[in-house]
Amino acid sequence: MAIRNIREIGEEVLTKKCREVTEMTPRIRELIEDMLETMYEANGVGLAASQVGVLKRIVVIDTTGEDPYILINPRIVESSGEQTGQEGCLSVPGKSGQVTRPNYVKAVALDMNMREFELEGTELLARAICHELDHLDGHLYVEKAEGPLQDVNCREEEEED
């Protein structure tokens, strides 16, 4: 496993639409393991493949820090309600912005064995699913942010951990 370089806002790869994964290969397995390691190392709750420069429809999400979800070719099939809150992104370091998202989403995706499964989430998990799936279509939360972005004091956050 290896930590990969996280691409930042302004880099073209973050604006591209990612392609579907058609089969599991050792290379994709390695990519997913690297994405998990990269996300944890950066203290993120989610990461899309495009954020490490790979245009494949793969995201990893872990909102609890102990139970990662791996979603291949994910799509949202149901959503309801509304939540408004602060959102950040590893590709937009040091910033956060207010974004309104559904409070509940149901996604369908493939797992590491290319078997379909459903993932339901509310609150932070619902927000993370929406945020990461946007990455797969080349969108960043900053496009949806209400009002100006705010500065986040990263050092303070690290000290709390």
Q: How far is the CB of 48 from Ni ion (least distance, A)?
A: 7
The DSSP call for residue 139 is -
- Dihedral sign computed on CA atoms, order 133, 153, 53, 16: positive
- Phi, psi (degrees; rounded to nearest 5) at 48: -105, 150
Q: Bridge partners of 61? A: 46, 69
Site for Ni ion in 78-97 (CB under 5 A): 89
| Number of shown-chain residues binding Ni ion (CB under 5 A) | 1
Tell whether residue 61 is a contact of Ni ion (CB under 5 A). Answer: no
Tell whether residue 126 is a contact of Ni ion (CB under 5 A). Answer: no
Q: How far is the CB of 16 from Ni ion (least distance, A)?
A: 14
Tell whether residue 130 is a contact of Ni ion (CB under 5 A). Answer: no
| Rounded CA separation 145/71 (Å) | 25
Q: How far is the CB of 24 from Ni ion (least distance, A)?
A: 24
Q: Of 116, 132, 158, 159, which one is the catalytic site residue?
A: 132
Tokens describing residue 122: 């509310």
The reply to whether 33 belongs to the active site is no
Rg value, the chain, Cα: 15
Q: Which residues bind Ni ion (CB under 5 A)?
A: 89
Which residues are known catalytic residues? 132
